[in-house]
Amino acid sequence: AFEMPQADMSLRGKHNIYNSLAAALACNIAGIDKETLHKGLSDFPGVEHRLEKVGKFGGVYYVNDSKATNVDACWYALESMTTPTILIIGGKDKGNDYNQIKDLVKQKCAGIVYLGADNKKLHDNFDELGIPVRDTHSMKDCVAACKELAKPGDTVLLSPCCASFDLFKNMEDRGEQFKTLVRE
């Protein structure tokens, strides 16, 4: 039997544990040896814009989950967070019901940064939680607000719940702008 501590796995979150278990079963059936399987699960870098590790700057971790264009995807991202989180949320809303993430936001978030052309619905849903919020309308202002809110040991998570078309060409453009500005 193949066993591997969760701490050795490169990808975080329950959903990625399930994916890794499926991959491990397939590898086992295919005859892949345990050492190769362990290495693959421990150093797999993940996929761009999906809980992508951007880096650690000033003691703060930055994660690009720009592909999270719906509330469900953001729920899984928040569920995987193990440190106080500054959540970047917003964009072109597709009739989102934010109630399904409110408990996780209360539990995990030390701050929320709204990033969109129109952030009224976000204010209506999240301001009441008593978590510090910032209202931004460009990635440059967003990253500056995150830097202001985040403390060493925190994670800044871009997991917007929304489409990107209000301020960006697409979700890749949004994620690339985030990574570039964070690294600067």
Residue 164: CATH number of its domain: 3.90.190.20
| 23 shares its domain with 82 | no
How high is the pLDDT of residue 41? 87
How high is the pLDDT of residue 17? 75
How high is the pLDDT of residue 94? 85
How high is the pLDDT of residue 10? 75
Rounded to a whole number of angstroms, the distance between the first and last alpha carbons of the chain is: 46
Distance (Å, rounded) from C-alpha 8 to C-alpha 84?
Answer: 21
Residue 36 lies in a domain: yes
Range of the domain at 14: 6-43
The total of structural domains in the chain comes to 2
Distance (Å, rounded) from C-alpha 54 to C-alpha 24?
Answer: 26
CB under 8 Å to 66, separation ≥6 — which residues?
49, 158, 160, 164, 171, 172, 174, 175, 178
pTM over 0.85: yes
Residue 154 falls in which region: left (phi positive, over 0), alpha (psi -120 to 50) or beta: beta
| Strand ranges (E), the chain | 52-57, 60-64, 85-89, 109-115, 133-136, 155-158
| 149 shares its domain with 59 | yes
How high is the pLDDT of residue 132? 98
* Half-sphere exposure in the Cβ direction for 24 (13 Å, CA): 18
| 32 shares its domain with 56 | no
Q: Which stretches of the chain score pLDDT less than 50?
A: none
How high is the pLDDT of residue 28? 86
**Helix or strand or coil: residue 184?**
coil
Residue 165 falls in which region: left (phi positive, over 0), alpha (psi -120 to 50) or beta: alpha
